[in-house]
Structure 1
Amino acid sequence: MKHNGSDIAAPTLAIAYHSGFGHTATLAHAVAAGASEAGADVAVIAVDQMDDTDWDTLDAADGILFGSATYMGNVSAAFQSFAEQTGRRCVDGTWRDKVAAGFTNSGGKSGDKLNTLVSLSVFAAQHHMHWVSLGLGPGWNSSAGSEHDLNRLGFFLGAGAATDVDANSEEVHPSDVRTCRHLGWRVAHVTRQLNVGRSAIPAASNPGASSAPAH
C-alpha cells in the first residue's frame, strides 16, 4: 500500500484470528481498540468466516496481527487451515514487508502458549513480514507484583492470556485484555514509524535478488 500526506498518520491494520469459545475474540477486539487509540484504521476478521472482501482487506493492510487459541500446544486447526490457504500469497510475496504480531489464549497459565506464538511468528517470517514483539517487561514476578500487572504471564514474543476453560467470553482476565490492548497500540505506532520511513527513503534494490552471491 502506498502512502502520502495524511495517509501516513493512519496505518491500516487487520486482525486475523480464530476463537473457539469467544476468549480469543475478546482479545482480538482489545487489540483492535488499542490500535484504534493509536490512530490506526482497523479491521477485525474471523479467519473461519472469511469472504473475498476479507482477503482483500488483509492484502491491502499495512500490518496483520494474528491471533489463535492454543489447542494441544499449537494454533487451532481453523487457524492452520487459514494459514495453509495463504500459500500462493507466500510464493507471490503479497504480504512481504507488512508488519506482523501475535496473541493467544489457553486455559493454563503456561498452556504451551509460547509454542503458538512461535508458530505465528514463523508463519509471518515465511511471508517475509516484520514481527513486532510485545514490548513489555514481565509482570507479577516479584512480591510487589500481582495478577493485575500488565503482561502478568511474562511473555515477550507476543501477548499471552489465560482464561478458565469454563469462563465465558466476558470473563477474560482484565490484565490480559489490557496487555492485548497494549499490543495493538504498539503495533500501530511501529507501523506508522515504518510508513514514515518508507515515505522518506526510497526502497533499496536487493543486489543479490537476481544473482548468486560471490564466493
Structure 2
Amino acid sequence: MTSTAMTSTAGPRPRVAVAYHSGRGHTAALAAAVADGARQAGAEVTALAVDGMTDHQWAVLDDADAIVFGTPTYMGNVSAGFQTFAERTSRRCHTGAWRDKVAAGFTNSGAKSGDKLQALVSLVVLAAQHHMHWVSLGLGPGWNSTTGSEDDLNRLGFFLGAGAQSDTDVAADRVHRADVRTCQLLGARVAGVTAQLLAGRTATQRLAPAGS
C-alpha cells in the first residue's frame, strides 16, 4: 500500500463487506481487489455477490461496519442484477438497519467513460437513502498529462468512487492493473475511515456522563 492508504493500527477492527454484482467477471475481480486492500489495511472483510442473496449474506451486511457497493455500468446505470439487490434493501432503509455505516462504491464498463458517473451517483443515492456515510476515492486524476500513463492510479479520473474499464472481449482475470491498484486503495481507504469512525464512537462513549 502507498501512503494514500490509511491503515488501522489501534481500536476495534472494522468489518467491511464488499457487495457486488458481476456480469462477465470483471467486476468480481475488482471486488476481490477492494477486499484485498481493506484486508491489508486491517479490516475483517467479506466479499459477496448480491445475486441470490441468502439469509446469512444479509446478516453479513447487517453486521458490517462498512459496505462497498460494486456494479458494472450497463446502459448508463447500475446493472439489473445490482438494481434488484438495491430494491430488496428497502425494508432495511425503512428500519434504519444500515444507518451510520460507512459506504463506498466502484463500477466498471467496457468504454473508457461509459457513463460510469451515473452508476456511481446511483450508488451514492442508495447509500444516502440508508443514511450511510459515503467515502470518496480520495485520489487525484491520473493519465491527464504528457508525463502520465494508463498505468496511473485513477487513470480514468473519477472521484466519487473507483471507475474501471475492461475490454468486453477479454477474460475476467485481465482487468487493467491500474484499476486493480485503484480498487485496492479504495478498500484500504474505507478500512481506514471506518476504523477512525469506530475509534471516535468508542472515545465518545467513554467520555459520555454516566446514565446519559
Output the TM-score relative to the length of structure 1: 0.90
- Is residue 2:66 matched to residue 1:50? no
- Equivalent residues of 1:159, 1:180 under 8 A apart: yes
Which residue of structure 1 lines up, in the alignment, with residue 183 of structure 2? 180
**RMSD (CA atoms):** 1.3
Query: What SS does the corresponding residue of 2:51 show, helix, strand or coil?
Result: helix
Q: What is the match of residue 10 of structure 1?
A: 13
Q: Secondary structure at the match of 2:20?
A: strand
Match of 1:26 in 2: 29
Quote how far apart the aligned CAs of 1:170 are: 1.0
Q: Would the aligned equivalents of 1:9 and 1:39 in 2 still touch at CA under 8 Å?
A: no
- Equivalent residue for 1:100? 103
Aligned-partner Cα distance in 2 for 1:8–1:144:
41
User: Is 1:163–2:160 an aligned residue pair?
Assistant: no
Structure 2 residues without counterparts, runs of 5 or longer: 1-8, 207-212
SS in 2 for 1:117: helix
Aligned residue for 2:23, secondary structure, equals: coil
User: Does residue 127 of structure 2 align to residue 129 of structure 1?
Assistant: no
Give the length in aligned residue pairs: 198
Deviation at 1:7, TM superposition (A): 8.7
1:82 counterpart (72, 80, 85) = 85
In structure 1, distance between residues paired with 2:12 and 2:125: 29
- Cα distance in 1 for partners of 2:52, 2:152 equals 34
Identity %: 67
| Residue number in structure 2 paired with 1:143 | 146
AA matched with 1:31: V
Q: Distance in 2 between matches of 1:102 and 1:167?
A: 23
Structure 1 unpaired stretches of 5+: 1-5, 204-215
Secondary structure, counterpart of 1:49 in structure 2: coil
Q: For 1:138 and 1:126, locate their aligned partners in 2 and report how far apart those are by CA, in whole Å.
A: 28
Write the deviation string for residues 13-47 of structure 1: whole angstroms up to 9, x where unpaired. Answer: 00000000000000000000000000000000100
Equivalence for 2:5: none
The one of the two structures with greater contact order (alpha-carbon pairs below 8 A, sep at least 6) is 2
Return the TM-score normalized by structure 2. Answer: 0.91
